[in-house]
Structure 1
C-alpha cells in the first residue's frame, strides 16, 4: 500500500489473512471443554459458580437454544449459573450450521451435584473419569476394568495451526470418553444401567436382558468427518463364551443385535496384549479376550440417535442365548424362544389323573 500526504510518499507491504468457512462441509463438534471455576469436566456443582462450555468447531451459525438450561451464548461459548437448578443430569445441545444442507447437532450431558467439585472428583482431561480414578492420560483410551482399556484406533491427526488452515478440515485428535452411564470405568454392569435409568426417571427398557458379565459404555469424539467410521479395541475381562452374540444398547430403544455390514464389523483375538494384528479373526471367537469393533457414525450401531455428527456413542455387551449352557460374559436373553412343556411335569399330571380315577372307582364300589 502506498500513502502520499502531498509532500512525501511511503510504501509498506503487509499480508491480510482470514479464515473462510467452507460451507460445503458439514461442521463437526470435535470436543466440548467444560470448566467451572478452576475445575474441569462433566461433573459440576450448584455452588461452584458459572459453568462455561467451549465447543471446538467452526461454522457459520451456532444454536444452543435447545439446551434444557437457560444461559448466554456467544458463538462457540455457552455459559450458565446452576445455582437455582435442581441436581441431576443437564442436557446441553449445540447445532453447528453452515447452511441448510450442512449442519450437525451434538449433545453434552452434565451431572449437577449439590456438593463440591474438588481435587478428588475434578476431571482435568474432560474424559468423564475423575483425576483420582483416571489411570490413563492418553486421549485415545479409557480404563475398562482392572488393568483393561478401551482404545480408539483412529490415527491421531496433528493440529494445523497455520494462518491459512481450514478449521473444518480434519484437525485435532479423536478421543475416547466415558459413556454417560459409566462411573470411573468404561465397564459397567446391568445393575448400573438400571440404576441410571431409575435415577433419571427414564423408561426401563433394560429388563429384557439378564447380565452375566460386562457391559461396555464409551464415546468416540473428533472423527475426521460426519459419517466416518471409527475403530476401537476393547480388552475384555471375561473371555468370549460359546454361542456368543454381540448386543448393543440404547437408552431410547433398549437392546438389539449389533448390525454387521461393510462399515460395521466385529473381530476378536486371543492375543494377551490385543496388539498382534495377525491374530484378529472375523466374528466372536470362543476364548478371545480382545474385541475390535468398526462402527459408522450415524449408522445403526451408533446409539446417539442415529445422527451423523462426527461422534460415535456405543454401549455393547457380549451375550449368550438363554438356551445355551455356557456361562460368563454379557447378557443372557432369548426373546424368541418357543414355548415348551416339561415332560416330567406332563407325566406327573397323567399319574395324578390316573390316581383320582382309581380312587373314584373304589368309592363307587
Structure 2
C-alpha cells in the first residue's frame, strides 16, 4: 500500500495512539459527551474575486446558516453552532457586519485567521492587534478574559510557527510566543496532513511550548490534563487524523475536512468518534472546511450540514452518548472543564 505524502511525520504518532487506546475497536464503550465544532477557514476573497462575488459568498451564509442552525439541535436542545475563522488580510467592515449579525443571533462566532509571509515581527503584531481590536470594538465579536479580548486561531497555508520546510507563508520562529502575548486561547490549525506542516502529535489536545530560535515548536508538547495546573505557551486543539478503511476499496486519509467531494456519512462520523481527542468521558471533534468556496457552500448549505447533524445525533443516540454543538471557544471551555 502506498502511504500518503509526508506520512513519516504523523504515522508513528498515529500508530502509538492506536496502541495506547487499544484500537481499532471503537473506543466509546460507555456513555460519553461528544463535543462538536466546525472551524471554517472562511475566505470571501478566495481566488481574488470582484467585490460582488465576495459579498455574495458572505450573504449566502448570512441568509442560509441561521435556518440550518435552528432546525438542528443537540442533546440539550441548543442550536447548531459554526465558527467563522475570518482572514485578517480580507477585512472589510461590511463583511464582518453581516457575519457578526448572524453570530449575534446565537448560531456562531468569529475567530482569527491570517495569511502572512515574511513581513517581520512588528508588522505581524500590528496587523493582529489591529484586527483583534476591530473585531471586538467595532463588531462586538470575540470573548474577553482578564479584561482583554482573546481569540482562537487558524494559520493560513497551515504554516503555523514557520513550519513549512521552505520558510514561506510565515517567517516567524517565535510565532507561538507572539500568539500567547496577543491573547490566543487555543490554536485550531491542525491537522494539516498530508502537508509537511503536520504535527507529529496527533489526536491529542496538548500544550505547545515555543523555542523562538527554531520553527515548528508545536511538533512536540505536553498532553493536556485537567487535574494539572501546568500551562504551556499555546493550547493545541486538533481535529481527527488517521486512515479510513471501511467505506473505500483504497484507504485514504481522514482529516475531519468537510468538502464538496467528501461530505459526512455514518462511517465517517464513527471514525471521527474513534480518532478524536478524548479527556475522560469527553470526546472533542473539531471539523474544518473552506465554506466560502462555492462548491463547498453548495454542498454544505443544500443538505450537507443538515445530513451531518442528523447523522451525528443518530450515531450518538445509538451509542447512548450526548452531543453538544459548540463554537471553537465553547470547545475550549469544555476542554478546560
**Superposition TM-score, scaled by structure 1 size:** 0.25
Higher helix share: 2
Larger relative contact order (CA 8 Å, sep ≥ 6):
2
Structure having the higher Rg: 1
